[in-house]
Structure 1
Amino acid sequence: MSISIKEIRFILLVPLILLFANCSTKTSHKQKGNVFIENTNGNYSLYKNGKKFVIKGAGGYSNLETLREAGGNTIRIWDTTNLTAILQNAKQNNLSVIVGIPIFESEHLFYYNDPIKTEQQFQTVKTFVNKFKNDPSILMWCVGNELYFPFSLSYKKFYKAFNRIVDMIHEDDPNHPVTTTMVNFQPSQIFNLKFKTDIDIISFNIFSRISFLRRDLKRYSWLWNGPYLIAEWGTNGPWVDEPKTAWEAYIEPSSTKKAAIYKAMYQKFMPVEDPRFLGSCIFYWGQKQERTHTWFSLFDEYGNKTEAVSTVKQLWLGNKTLHTSVQIDKIQLNQKEAKDNILLNSSEIANAQVFLTKPDSNITKINWEIYPEDWHEKNGKSNTIRPDAIELKIIRSEALKIQFIAPEKEGPYRLFAFIYNKYGFVSTCNIPFYVIQKKQ
């Protein structure tokens, strides 16, 4: 078993950290309400209204009827925008809601060192917790998303503000547990959550690193052996380890390949047998822009389903869906694939084609679109607004092929194909290319 240098440093620091932790005045809090966690000799179970509740959830707030039909029982949202309508829609579909409470990140020390600002944040949270706490659809509160929980004493006022919010929720709303999320499994942050906060559940946003989760849970069970849920999981994202072009445009798998990734991740790595596991939420149940508008989206903006929706239904209910989406093998541009670093001249005539794994007579239409590459980030986070599409000048279109004129302006682009069938599914794929301006 290999251990990284970072992990060794953490282990060596543990005795010193424990010494400080023993000086902490943090008290233990146990809930017993409409929703609570029961611990029986290390076996944790979530209960709602007296019945055991295993979270089969999704991040997002649209297409809730489809979620219910797929066997889902929970949605996770990141803030309180339109919360009244979301809770009402959830109730109509017999779904529970993990409500996100956005707060300033811990790195904003200027904010947490200002007592007026932290008091305003506290009062804002207190107001809407008390406004919505009696709604029957609420499952739990999630304070912050992917916050950083450091050991440094300079973050003392952040912890004070964070704990004040958590303690207020416990006091004002004893019927619902409180969680927060972190990116992947991070032992140092887990330590700080355990000894510096009174969180009831630790939640992980974890994608490709889910393959290491069982190992990490076992390796650090001496440090923390409490309940957890996976608040976000899904296909590998446009991150460091994923393949990309020479101009660093990440290569996105087709919706067919992503469905296979979802299935493999869940069946191989989801720790459903762990007595500490409370459930999971797939990401993203709807349509959102993150590098592209298809990368994480299980639906298009019109509510058409991708194959991953059928996959999730099969994983949750065990029965295979009779009808699903068109099966994409690959997309090519000028007989090249994305890994070939496709270069086009400005206004060049180009040919694109989508290849299927097998013929499909249920196709109703095919849409093609071109978008500029979306590299925009703010504070290290991807743009959430889709760029404007580029006018696609099609010369000829035939079945799964098109001939078109490349954009005139130099730069990176993506050509998207959307294949619809008569069963309400959409299959997606795209291919990045770079346009070189003609010399004058």
Structure 2
Amino acid sequence: MMRVSLFLWGCTLSAALNAAPVKVEVVPEGGLKRGGEPYFIQGAGGDGPLKLLKTRGGNSVRTWGHEGLGAKLDEAHALGLTVAAGIWLEPECSWFSYSRPEHCDRQAARVKQIVTEHKDHAALLLWGLGNEMEGDGGNAALWKQVNRLAKLVHETDPAHPTFTALAGISDLKAKGLNEHAPDLDLVGINTYGALSGLRETLAKLGWKRPWVVTEYGPRGFWEVGKTSWGAPLEDTSTQKAEFLKMAATKALGPGATGGCAGGYAFLWGQKQEASATWFGLLTEDGAATPSVDVLQELWSGQKPANRAPAVDPLRCDQAGQTLRPGQKFSAGMVAQDPDGDVLTFDWRVLSAHGARDKEGRELTPPAHPAALLEVKGSNASFAAPAQPGEYRIYGYARDGQGGVGTANFVIRVSQP
């Protein structure tokens, strides 16, 4: 049995690797053609389950780097998905400068090696040359290197277009791209709170070239209100879904034109960034938030058979306040399930901040289970942790069908 299974898996993998590449073209008036047919990107970026992405109506996944790219391409191909393959490019820093030819030469050699290795894969859609490495956009040497890399990719792989992903778009960035990177096929734009006004922004800039939204999601932690000590206040999963539906419909909704090739929602999976739930469309255990339901409806035109619970902001008089170590407080969660499923509730207390890895990414902060004293239905009682610091209290409403609603608030603990 094992030998048969391994043989069949090997045949599937071999078929994926040996399938002919599919030519992708940028249409001058905007959008893509893949294999000669119009192709509008309805995708997400991240390492969440691709089978679920396909089931929900997605057609593409984005990566930021090439690590594990071969396996990602194989899995996507087996599911009928495509991949926007990212190649990480260095920002200006102490050990890399776009004004140093030797640095740029090494970077170009690395890019060519990656493209050569994966260019013939049938699931490949686009090459992403860097992500948010542009700074304020005023570095002409950087844009010239991006253009050099785009030409290099075209020479190595004529079948797949290129983009670079910007942290929003501005006059200075548009100017740099237009003056120094004419060979780049599309501009990728990462945008969150400004997604609903993106088309108006591009019109004001006089942007004429094709574009794709390479990251979009809830309002970012830099775009929301804050506590008195500066901690960002996260929207509930329901508020995020409502914002996503409004903003994505305006920018990427049915019949979207004007140079747009589609977009990638952020993040397909879960990660710690400002909080444990800020950007993840899924939770750690793979449960789907209401934003996934919104995406399914946008992508497929169909409402999901099961919808995630809707939640209100957590009820707690001490939310956003400074407490004494050991001080008791309680919180409540109000949730409704649109399908009438019976809901269960669980709570977590985590430090608001944790360590970072060697690449600067946030690691999951320490949990404080002793701070959770009792759970009664949708209510819970707590004791503030003994160690002074900042903490997030998370509430989860689960429908037992793979859907979840999330909300949290922040407290600060200080010695009297």
Partner amino acid, structure 2, of 1:204 = I
Residues 1:359 and 1:216: Cα distance change in structure 2 (over 3 Å): closer
Q: Tell me by how many angstroms 1:109 deviates.
A: 8.2
Residue aligning to 2:273 = 290
Deviations 1:344-401 (A, max 9, x none): 211122211112257986345422111112287899x974321121233433321011
Moved more, 308-317 or 105-114: 105-114
Residues 1:183 and 1:159: Cα distance change in structure 2 (over 3 Å): closer
Tell me how far apart the structure 1 counterparts of residues 98 and 205 of structure 2 sit (CA, whole Å).
Answer: 31
Deviations 1:177-205 (A, max 9, x none): 01101122212211221220120111111
Residue aligning to 2:325 = 346
CA contact (8 A) 2:63 2:85 kept: yes
Report the 3-state secondary structure (helix = DSSP H, G, I; strand = E; otherwise coil) of the residue aligned with 1:204: strand
Tell me how far apart the structure 2 counterparts of residues 160 and 187 of structure 1 sit (CA, whole Å).
Answer: 17
Q: Tell me by how many angstroms 1:326 deviates.
A: 1.9
Matched, 1:206 2:156: no
Q: Could you tell me which of 43, 50, 56 is aligned with 2:36?
A: 50
Matched, 1:128 2:135: no
Matched, 1:366 2:342: no
Report the 3-state secondary structure (helix = DSSP H, G, I; strand = E; otherwise coil) of the residue aligned with 2:30: strand
Tell me how far apart the structure 1 counterparts of residues 371 and 191 of structure 2 sit (CA, whole Å).
Answer: 40
Tell me how far apart the structure 2 counterparts of residues 132 and 52 of structure 1 sit (CA, whole Å).
Answer: 23
Over the aligned positions, Cα root-mean-square deviation in angstroms equals 2.6
Residues 1:326 and 1:149: Cα distance change in structure 2 (over 3 Å): closer
Residue aligning to 1:391 = 369
Tell me how far apart the structure 1 counterparts of residues 341 and 214 of structure 2 sit (CA, whole Å).
Answer: 35
Residue aligning to 1:321 = 304
Q: Tell me by how many angstroms 1:148 deviates.
A: 1.6
Residue aligning to 1:37 = 26
Residues 1:363 and 1:437: Cα distance change in structure 2 (over 3 Å): farther
Tell me how far apart the structure 2 counterparts of residues 300 and 332 of structure 1 sit (CA, whole Å).
Answer: 22
Residues 1:182 and 1:151: Cα distance change in structure 2 (over 3 Å): closer
Identical-pair percentage: 28
Partner amino acid, structure 1, of 2:91 = E
Residues 1:87 and 1:357: Cα distance change in structure 2 (over 3 Å): same
CA contact (8 A) 2:150 2:162 kept: yes
Matched, 1:412 2:398: no
CA contact (8 A) 1:149 1:192 kept: no
Matched, 1:169 2:153: yes
Deviations 1:247-278 (A, max 9, x none): 11111111111111111112234475333111
CA contact (8 A) 1:76 1:99 kept: yes
Q: Could you tell me which of 58, 62, 71 is aligned with 1:85?
A: 71
Partner amino acid, structure 1, of 2:380 = I
Partner amino acid, structure 1, of 2:331 = A
Partner amino acid, structure 2, of 1:127 = Q
Residue aligning to 2:256 = 273
CA contact (8 A) 2:134 2:142 kept: no
Deviations 1:70-89 (A, max 9, x none): 21111111001111111111
Tell me how far apart the structure 1 counterparts of residues 370 and 201 of structure 2 sit (CA, whole Å).
Answer: 48
Tell me how far apart the structure 2 counterparts of residues 216 and 59 of structure 1 sit (CA, whole Å).
Answer: 24
Tell me how far apart the structure 1 counterparts of residues 313 and 137 of structure 2 sit (CA, whole Å).
Answer: 47
**What does 1:2-401 correspond to in 2, within 5 Å?**
34-39=23-28, 43-106=29-92, 111-148=97-134, 155=139, 157-197=141-181, 198-221=183-206, 224-239=207-222, 241-270=223-252, 272-333=255-316, 335-336=317-318, 338=319, 341-357=320-336, 362-363=341-342, 365-374=344-353, 383-401=361-379
Q: How many residues are treated as equivalent by the alignment? A: 394
Tell me how far apart the structure 2 counterparts of residues 396 and 251 of structure 1 sit (CA, whole Å).
Answer: 25
- Structure 1 residues without counterparts, runs of 5 or longer: 1-32
When the two structures are superposed, what TM-score results if normalisation uses the length of structure 2? 0.87
Tell me how far apart the structure 1 counterparts of residues 280 and 405 of structure 2 sit (CA, whole Å).
Answer: 11
Residues 1:48 and 1:332: Cα distance change in structure 2 (over 3 Å): same
Q: Tell me by how many angstroms 1:113 deviates.
A: 4.2
Report the 3-state secondary structure (helix = DSSP H, G, I; strand = E; otherwise coil) of the residue aligned with 2:407: strand
CA contact (8 A) 1:291 1:383 kept: no
Moved more, 182-191 or 265-274: 265-274
CA contact (8 A) 1:35 1:177 kept: yes
Query: Which of 1 and 2 has greater Rg?
Result: 1
- Structure 2 residues without counterparts, runs of 5 or longer: 1-21
Tell me how far apart the structure 2 counterparts of residues 421 and 323 of structure 1 sit (CA, whole Å).
Answer: 9
Residues 1:151 and 1:273: Cα distance change in structure 2 (over 3 Å): closer
Partner amino acid, structure 2, of 1:227 = P
Moved more, 157-166 or 428-437: 157-166
